[in-house]
């Protein structure tokens, strides 16, 4: 290329680059003038639609009550991956993740206060869910409880507990059920899970992936899923295609929320982020949550939605020793889940 | 573009204008984009002492995952060689209608997000899929087995073979084949003794690239693989698993082993390629 072309090109590049910079600068100034405060809620995958609606309601409330304009942005992804991105510097003011353990990791890094779980009602869990079964319409394999999952040629779809937070709830629901059977011991629970995973043909990496495998690709006879995902699948894709089966015992799934103290104080958003977290417990937000198939913790709202949520007997993670212990025992490298696969691998 | 219409001066008499600038930006760019991340990757596993790496080296599951990755990548690349050669031949030598479309289609696997590829293949080969359903009747299951991994890797690997061989075949004068024919060679002999030997070095590098890509492929595989530890779990998935455990040292240890293995493969292919090329030249002389 002759030198004059090069310089002409670089002149053009400079011009274009300069214009782009100037453009984005005006754009940035424009938006920052309009949006007084922006909050970032780093959340896990199945809450995308839920938080879109809650965020809009919160912004409107703020405008009406104090006249201030607040925009809440949401980032969605797998719970563990989201925790990691906050750990590595994603500017989250709030995290709402699939398991307490993921927020514990942030507390370990000093991003979240160590006592985070005690700072908001219900273990910092504004709405809960549980683990249920989704089966094909008419329940052709007659699946009613956990025992039925390991009968004959039943194929079970559940994601990989190693890569999916949701799958850990599934796994622990099964574990807890097995422990609570008469004569149930750690050994019998382990034997049950080993048998269960022999009926799992695919370990999808994430919960939505597993739902897709079951719903769209027609894989398997039963999907172990969060109740909100199961309800969503039936309502969105037609109640004529699937039935929801509630097992005799399941786990109380508590996806918690927390203020990311370190980031919020840097951004000067601590107060407003705290308001946002408290807003999640108001009847208005609780009602939105119920609409998105999460179980409200507010008893009045819960009563008004009682018809949509079947009664279910649950145990919580604390009864298994809490997330730190559970994580180490079951899902760490060489833990019980790994042993299940090592044995028949 | 303006530069396309400019007369191009011969390169030997005129060094690249702004040579220093070009060299500087090249080195800076390669440094930032390639060398720096690689250095970080190589250094990270040792950060917590030798422990992480030695633990990683004793992990049977990791070896199983590496075996799955290498074996499936090898098989996929191997199947792609004859398929790719045939495709390239048709593309270059046969005046097909719609040749340009086929030509563009071949590059598509480079461009589609790998997850989209994976989801599409899983749907296609799944128990209710267009291909999966009839195959299931025949008792063949592709999805959620190692066969599924091979299918995904064939899809992402094919363009490497075609695009490696294509320029060589294009540069090969058809007269050579005609001459072989005139000298009494059958068409099989022509292909076997004249065409294929000249394409061999390019084929070997295409194979090597497809193979290396296959070892590291993640997105398109995890949707169709089944991801069962010890059976259909690929090494890159195990990296993600370790990351989910917040086990950075473990993850980077596997990544490091993958990196070294892939580099060895590429080096091996380069050596093989040189040897094949040298053999060809000495054969001609």
State mean pLDDT over B51-55: 74
Q: What is the pLDDT of residue B280?
A: 66
Among A164, A162, A169, A252, which residue's Cα sits nearest to residue A213? Answer: A164
Contact flag A202-B222 (C-beta cutoff 8 Å): no
- pLDDT surpasses 60 at B7: no
Contact flag A2-B64 (C-beta cutoff 8 Å): no
Give this complex's ipTM. Answer: 0.71
CA angle A318, A322, A324 (to 5 degrees): 175
Q: In chain B, which residues touch A (CB < 8 A)?
A: 2-3, 6, 8-9, 17-18, 59-61, 64, 119, 122-123, 126-129, 143-144, 222-223, 226-231, 237, 240-247, 250
The DSSP symbol for A146 reads: G
Least confident of A185-194, A264-273, B106-115: B106-115
Q: Which of A136, A160, A329 to mutate to test the interface with B (most CBs of B within 10 A)?
A: A160
- pLDDT surpasses 60 at A73: yes
Q: Which of B221, B229, B230, B238 to mutate to test the interface with A (most CBs of A within 10 A)?
A: B229
Question: How many whole angstroms separate alpha carbon A304 and alpha carbon A290?
Answer: 10
Question: How many whole angstroms separate alpha carbon B222 and alpha carbon A202?
Answer: 10
Q: What is the DSSP annotation of A22-61? A: HHHHHHHHHHHHH-SEEEEEEEEGGGHHHHHHHHHHHHHH
Q: Is A3 on the interface with B (CB under 8 A)?
A: yes
Confidence of residue B281 (pLDDT cuts 50, 70, 90): low
* Torsion angle of C-alpha atoms B147, B153, B158, B161, degrees rounded to 10: -110
- What is the architecture, at CATH level 2, of domain A37-125+255-281? 3-Layer(aba) Sandwich (3.40)
Give per-residue burial for A217-229: e unless 16+ CB within 10 Å, then b.
bebbbbbbbbbbb
CA distances from A264 to A103, A112, A133, A272 (A): 15, 10, 39, 9
Confidence of residue B126 (pLDDT cuts 50, 70, 90): confident
A15 alpha-carbon distance from chain centroid: 46
> In whole numbers, what is the pLDDT of chain A averaged over residues?
88
Collapsing DSSP to helix, strand or coil, A283 comes out as helix
State mean pLDDT over B34-47: 84
Contact flag A3-B18 (C-beta cutoff 8 Å): yes
Task: Enter the tokens of residue B256.
Answer: 């490091």
Task: Tell me the per-residue pLDDT of A203-244, one tens digit each, with 9 for 90 and over.
Answer: 998 888 898 889 888 899 999 999 999 998 898 887 889 999
Task: Tell me the per-residue pLDDT of A216-225, one tens digit each, with 9 for 90 and over.
Answer: 888 999 999 9
Instruction: Among A9, A202, A217, select the one facing B123 at the smallest CB separation.
Output: A217
Residue B242 and residue B44 in contact, taking contact as beta carbons nearer than 8 Å: no
CA dihedral (A159, A161, A167, A171) positive or negative? positive
State mean pLDDT over A49-67: 94
State mean pLDDT over A10-18: 51
Among A224, A345, A333, A293, which residue's Cα sits nearest to residue A50? Answer: A293
DSSP collapsed to 3 states, chain B: CHHHHCCCCCCCCCCCCCHHHHHHHHHHHHHHHHHHHHHHHHHHHHCCCCHHHHHHHCCHHHHHHHHHHHHHHHHHHHHHHHHHHHHHHHHHHCCCCCHHHHHHHHHHHHHCCHHHHHHHHHHHHCCCCCCHHHHHHCCCCCCCCHHHHHHHHHHHHHHHHHHHHHHHHHHCCHHHHHHHHHCCCCHHHHHHHHHHHHHHHHHHHHHHHHHHHHHHCCHHHHCCCCCCCCCCCCHHHHHHHHHHCCCHHHHHHHHHHHHHHHHHHHHHHHHHHHHHHHHHHHHHC
- pLDDT surpasses 60 at B158: yes
> In whole numbers, what is the pLDDT of chain B averaged over residues?
85
Least confident of A77-81, A219-223, B51-55, B57-61: B51-55
Q: What is the pLDDT of residue B1?
A: 40
Contact flag A203-B250 (C-beta cutoff 8 Å): no
Q: What does DSSP say about strands A37-44 and A295-296: parallel, antiparallel, or unpaired? A: unpaired
Q: What is the pLDDT of residue A88?
A: 87
Question: How many whole angstroms separate alpha carbon A319 and alpha carbon A60?
Answer: 40
Name, of A89-103, B42-56, B225-239, the range with top average pLDDT: A89-103
Task: Enter the tokens of residue A140.
Answer: 């052709």
Collapsing DSSP to helix, strand or coil, A84 comes out as helix
State mean pLDDT over B122-133: 89
Percent of chain B with pLDDT strictly greater than 70: 92
Q: What is the pLDDT of residue B177?
A: 83
Taking the CB of residue A238, how many other CB atoms lie within 10 A of it? 10
Q: What is the pLDDT of residue A343?
A: 53
Confidence of residue B15 (pLDDT cuts 50, 70, 90): low
Least confident of A43-57, A111-125, A273-287, B49-63: B49-63
CA dihedral (A292, A293, A299, A300) positive or negative? positive
β-partners of residue A242 are A136
Q: What is the pLDDT of residue B130?
A: 92
- pLDDT surpasses 80 at B111: yes
Q: What is the pLDDT of residue A303?
A: 95
With beta carbons under 8 A apart, name residues in chain A contacting B245. Answer: 162, 331-333
Domain ranges of chain A: 37-125+255-281, 130-253+313-343
CA dihedral (A78, A103, A55, A32) positive or negative? negative
Percent of chain A with pLDDT strictly greater than 70: 89
- Number of helices (H) and strands (E) in chain A: give both, helices first: 15, 11
Widest CA span in chain B: 69
Contact flag A2-B2 (C-beta cutoff 8 Å): no
Contact flag A216-B123 (C-beta cutoff 8 Å): yes
Least confident of A218-227, A291-300, B126-135, B237-246: B237-246
- pLDDT surpasses 70 at A182: yes
Class of domain A130-253+313-343: alpha beta
Q: Which of A333, A335, A338, A340 to mutate to test the interface with B (most CBs of B within 10 A)?
A: A333
Collapsing DSSP to helix, strand or coil, A113 comes out as coil
Residue A91 and residue A78 in contact, taking contact as beta carbons nearer than 8 Å: no
The reported pTM is 0.80
Among B233, B236, B228, B227, which residue's Cα sits nearest to residue B258? Answer: B236
């Amino acid at each position: 290329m002759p030198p004059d072309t090069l310089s002409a090109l670089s002149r053009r590049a400079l011009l274009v680059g300069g214009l782009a910079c100037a453009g984005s600068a005006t754009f940035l100034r424009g938006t920052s003038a309009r949006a007084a405060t922006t909050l970032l809620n780093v959340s896990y995958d199945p809450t995308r639609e839920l938080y879109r609606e809650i965020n809009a309601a919160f912004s409107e409330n703020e405008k009406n009550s104090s006249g201030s304009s607040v925009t809440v942005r949401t980032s969605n992804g797998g719970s563990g991956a989201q925790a990691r991105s906050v750990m590595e510097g994603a500017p989250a003011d709030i995290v709402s993740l699939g398991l307490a353990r993921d927020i514990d990791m942030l507390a370990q890094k000093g991003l979240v206060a160590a006592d985070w779980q005690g700072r908001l009602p219900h273990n910092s869990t504004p709405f809960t869910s549980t683990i249920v079964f989704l089966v094909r319409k008419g329940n052709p394999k007659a699946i009613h409880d956990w025992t039925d999952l390991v009968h004959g040629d039943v194929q079970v779809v559940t994601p990989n507990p190693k890569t999916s937070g949701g799958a850990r709830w599934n796994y622990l629901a099964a574990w807890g059920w097995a422990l609570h059977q008469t004569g149930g011991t750690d050994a019998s629970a382990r034997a049950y899970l080993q048998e269960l995973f022999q009926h799992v043909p695919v370990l999808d990496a994430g919960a939505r992936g597993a739902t897709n495998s079951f719903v769209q690709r027609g894989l398997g006879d039963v999907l172990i899923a969060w109740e909100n995902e199961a309800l969503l699948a039936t309502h969105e894709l037609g109640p004529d295609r699937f039935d929801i089966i509630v097992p005799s015992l399941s786990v109380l799934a508590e996806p918690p929320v927390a203020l990311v103290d370190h980031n919020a104080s840097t951004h000067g958003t601590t107060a407003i982020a705290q308001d946002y977290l408290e807003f999640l417990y108001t009847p208005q937000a609780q009602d939105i949550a119920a609409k998105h198939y999460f179980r409200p913790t507010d008893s009045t709202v819960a009563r008004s939605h009682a018809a949509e949520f079947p009664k279910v007997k649950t145990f919580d993670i604390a009864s298994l020793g809490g997330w730190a212990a559970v994580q180490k025992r079951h899902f760490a490298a060489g833990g019980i889940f790994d042993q299940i696969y090592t044995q028949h691998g | 573009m303006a530069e396309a219409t400019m007369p191009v001066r011969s390169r030997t008499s005129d060094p690249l204008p702004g040579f220093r600038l070009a060299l500087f930006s090249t080195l800076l760019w390669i440094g930032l984009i390639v060398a720096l991340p690689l250095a970080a990757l190589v250094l990270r596993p040792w950060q917590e002492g030798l422990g992480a790496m030695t633990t990683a080296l004793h992990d049977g599951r990791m070896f199983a995952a590496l075996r799955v990755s290498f074996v499936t990548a090898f098989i996929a690349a191997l199947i792609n060689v004859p398929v790719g050669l045939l495709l390239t031949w048709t593309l270059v030598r046969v005046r097909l209608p719609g040749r340009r479309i086929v030509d563009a289609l071949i590059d598509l696997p480079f461009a589609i997000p790998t997850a989209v590829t994976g989801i599409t293949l899983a749907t296609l080969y799944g128990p209710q899929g267009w291909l999966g359903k009839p195959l299931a009747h025949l008792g063949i299951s592709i999805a959620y087995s190692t066969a599924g991994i091979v299918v995904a890797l064939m899809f992402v690997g094919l363009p490497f073979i075609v695009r490696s061989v294509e320029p060589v075949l294009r540069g090969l004068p058809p007269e050579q084949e005609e001459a072989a024919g005139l000298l009494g060679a059958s068409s099989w002999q022509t292909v076997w003794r004249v065409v294929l030997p000249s394409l061999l070095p390019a084929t070997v590098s295409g194979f090597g690239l497809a193979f290396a890509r296959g070892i590291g492929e993640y997105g398109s595989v995890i949707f169709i693989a089944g991801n069962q530890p010890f059976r259909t779990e690929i090494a890159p998935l195990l990296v993600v698993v370790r990351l989910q455990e917040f086990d950075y040292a473990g993850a980077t240890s596997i990544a490091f082993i993958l990196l070294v293995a892939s580099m060895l493969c590429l080096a091996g292919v380069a050596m093989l390629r040189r040897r094949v090329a040298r053999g060809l030249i000495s054969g001609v002389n």
